[in-house]
Amino acid sequence: MLRLAVTTRAETYERMQDPLAERSIRVTHVPTAERTLSPAGDLGEFDAGFVFPPRLAEGGVADALLGVPWVNNREQVLRSRYKAETLARLSAAGLPTPETVAVSDPVGESTLRETFDRFDPPVVVKPNSATRGVGVTAVADCDSFLGVCDYLDLVHDYRATGDRSFLVQEYVDDARDYRVMVVDGSYAGAVERRLPDPDDATDAASGPGERVPTAPWKHNVHRGATARPVDLPTELRDLAESAAAALGIPWLGVDLLVTDERTVVNETNARPTIDTARKYEPGFWDDVAALVRRTAE
């Protein structure tokens, strides 16, 4: 039986144990965070690991001790973790992305004003490497935008802060939000993420010519949105597969924003949570098992 080390004990670990055991893959939790790790220690014998650990420093120690190939190794995780790099790679591959500016803090006020003026407000400001919608905000005027940037200056001024960048991005109005799962290059299912009350997500005018997204407007499941399975059209499936190919990541969640006029790849997630089986295509677990086995070879 193939031995798979999994570094998370959340939903993914719980949901994968039985289906993979049925396919002769033993899943074992190997914690790498909030514990002690000896550089000369022993974490057990395994054939592969499932997604490089989220804390890169501790993950590097675990990687050296385990000595296994990963479904999504460190480099692949980093390509998706830093949103600006992800968008740059996707854009270079000719794939549609939201208009975005990456800001490497600190920059002068005049530069920030010029950045804001490139967009039709509101603009979205988001950390370059956060997940679950943490720290993402939308602002409709330049003064508010500069205020948000001031707070980011305070955070980035702390000398131990490694990532001192953030994104300024267009607000894609009235978009349907899809998370598409791609396994080893192939479409494996999709969900549409919706707010509990769609009326809450409409825009309200705060003044002449201004659009302000009313709260809540972020579609993250961890922030109260619901995810229901959908049957995506072929062109959206192909776009998600192209995004995964451009990034070279075999296990990937691809976030698409779709309006009546266009579709953009908004973000990707190289550590997507496995959902309930009904949200995936038939044969999903066979595909996951095949990916694990190919990785272990």
Distance (Å, whole) CA 248 – CA 252:
10
Mean pLDDT of 215-238: 75
Q: Which of 21-35, 53-67, 120-134, 217-231 has the lowest mean pLDDT?
A: 217-231
Q: Which of 121-125, 165-169, 204-208, 275-279 has the lowest mean pLDDT?
A: 204-208
Q: Which CATH architecture has domain 99-171?
A: 2-Layer Sandwich (3.30)
pLDDT in tens, 103-144: 999 999 999 999 999 999 999 999 998 766 678 999 999 999
Buried b (16+ CB within 10 A) or exposed e, 90-128: beeeebebbebbbbebeeeeeebeebbeebebbbbbbbb
Q: Does domain 2-72 have CATH number 3.40.50.20?
A: yes
Mean pLDDT of 208-221: 54
What residue spans in the chain does CATH classification 3.30.470.20 cover? Answer: 75-95+172-270
What residue spans in the chain does CATH classification 3.40.50.20 cover? Answer: 2-72
The alpha carbon of residue 47 and the mean position of all alpha carbons in its chain are separated, in whole angstroms, by: 26
What residue spans in the chain does CATH classification 3.30.1490.20 cover? Answer: 99-171
| β-strand pairing of 2-6 with 165-170 | unpaired
Please tell me the CATH superfamily of domain 75-95+172-270, with its number. ATP-grasp fold, B domain (3.30.470.20)
What does the chain look like in DSSP terms, one character per residue?
A: -EEEEES--SHHHHHHHHHHHTTTEEEEE---SSS---TT------SEEES--SSHHHHHHHHHHH---EES-HHHHHHHHSHHHHHHHHHHTT-----EEEEES---HHHHHHHHHTS-S-EEEEESS--TTTT-EEESSHHHHHHHHHHHHHHHHSTT----EEEEEE--TT-EEEEEEEETTEEEEEEEEE-SSGGGGSEE-SSTT--EEPSP----GGGT-EEEE----HHHHHHHHHHHHHHT-SEEEEEEEE-SS-EEEEEEESSPPP--GGGS-TTHHHHHHHHHHHHH-
pLDDT in tens, 6-40: 998 888 999 999 999 999 999 999 999 888 999 88
Distance (Å, whole) CA 246 – CA 156:
31
